Structure 1
Amino acid sequence: MEAKVMDWNSGSTLPPGCYGELWLRGPAIMQRYLNNVEATAMTIDKDGWLRTGDIVCFDEDGYLYLSDRLKEIIKYNGYQIAPADLEAILISHPEILDAAVTAENDDVFGEIPVAFVVRRHGIPLTEEAVKDFVAKQVAPYKKIRKVVFTSSIPKSAAGKILRRELRKLLNCRL
């Protein structure tokens, strides 16, 4: 098996320590989708590399770190933002018990990052305080644009954040 990490914007191979999409090639990789040339072309390149859709990073010792899924990426004004990066920052806040980030459609920017936050009981954490906390740690395009306080984050039995449920909650709030 061969593996490489690719920049999903430029299509170039990334060195250890950089996050990008995991591409795989080898005898265990599927050859095509049955009766679906278009899906095959979108998933497997001409050299047999399978685009997994997983955002990963290899370290200097060859260990693989899974970060997110490419389809979960927020596309803000031409930039791409991984929700997991923002979630890691939010969880580091001492007054936040749990958090999740998803995209909301926006007429100007395409999508904006929205944080769902579970506050510690009895803590008067404000939307502006959450936005400021994240803004101090990220590039300007990665800033949280909206905060929704909630009592819990919807998760699967395996503990995976159910982003489709978060998007439903956003639509209900409109």
Structure 2
Amino acid sequence: MTHTPQMQPAVDLVQVDLGVTGMTCTSCSARVERKLNKVEGVEATVNFATESASVSYDPAKIDPGSLIEVVRNAGYDAFEVAGESAAEDAGIDGASISEDPHEAARRREAADLKHRLTISALLTVPIVLLSMIPALQFTNWQWAVLTMTTPVFFWGGAPFHRATFVNLRHGSFTMDTL
């Protein structure tokens, strides 16, 4: 007598695209993908280059908000990407998304990094001058240099330090932990 395995009924998986920000290397995307795929009823593929995750999930077991929370718990930020097809499905003819969330996130990050670079560079010029030109050195000049170096290191380097701590917290060694 042969035993035939019982077939489970086919589950209709729902597809959602997530934008993922904060990934700095491919090991970051691999970690996000691994965390998403550990969730029951979820199949995910994460693309570092496009900063996106394509997720198929069982709506009876999880919802998009919970998927976003899984990504956030992995140390990154995520948002649901609504495409033109979603607008067309809603019956809106000729609808276009006013601003791409990926582009908005990139623009905010670039503006923040530019601001940090500008302030850090302005503080670094006197640091270099005081350190390299003995004629500019005064009594206890080292304390002035330390005072200017501290915000450059902590505030200017904050995005790198944050990524390092996120990776260490998850027991992962990436280019940020070098």
Whether TM exceeds 0.5 here: the answer is: no
* TM-score bin (small chain): under 0.3
The structure with more radius of gyration: 2
TM-score, normalised relative to structure 2:
0.22
Question: Greater relative contact order: 1 or 2 (C-alpha under 8 angstroms, separation 6 or more)?
Answer: 2
Give me the TM-score of the superposition, normalised by structure 1. Answer: 0.22
